[in-house]
Amino acid sequence: MNLTPKQEAFCLAYIETGNASEAYRRAYDVGENTKPETINVKASELLAHGKVSVRVEELRAGHTKRHNITVDSLTGDLIEDRQSARNNDQTNVAVTATMGIAKIHGFDRVKLEHSGGVEISASPEWARVQGVILSALVPFPEAKRAVADALTTYEAGNEPSP
C-alpha cells in the first residue's frame, strides 16, 4: 500500500492515541494558531481516505492479534481490577474499572439528541461519516465550507442557521 510518510505516521499515531485530531497534529505540520475545528475536519477527511482507513484496520488487527487482546480478555482483566480495588477500599479505581468495562462494550457513547428525535453518537464512525461527506464536497469548496461550519456548530450544541 502506497501511503505517504505523513499518512503512515498518522495511522501509527491514531493506533497509539485513538484520537484522530491528536494523530493529525503529530503527523502533520500544524501551526499553533490552527483552529481545532480545522484539525478535526482534516483528521476526519484523512480517516475517510480509503488507503488510510485500510491501513488503520491492518494496524489494529495486527496489534490485537500480536497481543491476543479480545473484548472478553479485557473485560476479565477489568473485572479482576475492579474487585481488587473494592477489596482495598479504592473506590475511584473501582469506578475507573467499571467505566472501562462500559467503554469496551459501547455503553459510554455520548448521544446528541436532535429536536427531530435523531440520535448521533460521538464516535469514530461519526468522524468517518463527516470525513466522507466533506471529501465528497471537495469539488464544491463553498458547500464544503458551509457543511463543515454547520457540523462544527451542531457539535458545539447549537442548531446551524438555515
Give me the pLDDT at residue 100, please: 84
Maximum Cα interatomic distance, the chain, rounded to a whole number of Å? 60
| Residues paired with residue 121 on neighbouring β-strands, in sequence order | 111
Give kind and range of the element (H or E) at residue 120: strand 119-121
Q: Tens digits of per-residue pLDDT, 35-51?
A: 999 999 999 999 888 89
- One pLDDT digit (tens) per residue for the chain, 162 residues: 689 999 999 999 998 888 999 999 999 988 889 999 999 999 999 988 889 989 988 888 877 666 666 778 888 888 999 899 889 988 888 888 888 888 887 776 655 555 554 455 455 666 677 777 777 777 777 877 777 777 777 666 666 666
- How confident is the prediction for the chain on average, in pLDDT? 80
- Residue 64 phi/psi, 5° resolution? -65, -45
Q: What is the pLDDT of residue 122?
A: 54
Residue keyed to cell 438555515: 162
Nearest-CA neighbor of 55 among 88, 11, 93, 20? 11
Rounded distance between C-alpha atoms, residue 69 and residue 84, angstroms: 21
Question: Is the separation of the CB atoms in 7 and 46 below 8 Å?
Answer: yes
Which residue's C-alpha cell is 471537495? Answer: 138
pTM: 0.44
* Interatomic CA distance for residues 129 and 132, integer angstroms: 5
Tally the C-alpha atoms within 13 A of residue 37's C-alpha that lie toward its C-beta: 12
d(CA 63, CA 16): 10
Distance of CA 128 to CAs 53, 59, 98, 115, 133, Å?
A: 9, 17, 28, 23, 9
What's residue 10's pLDDT?
94
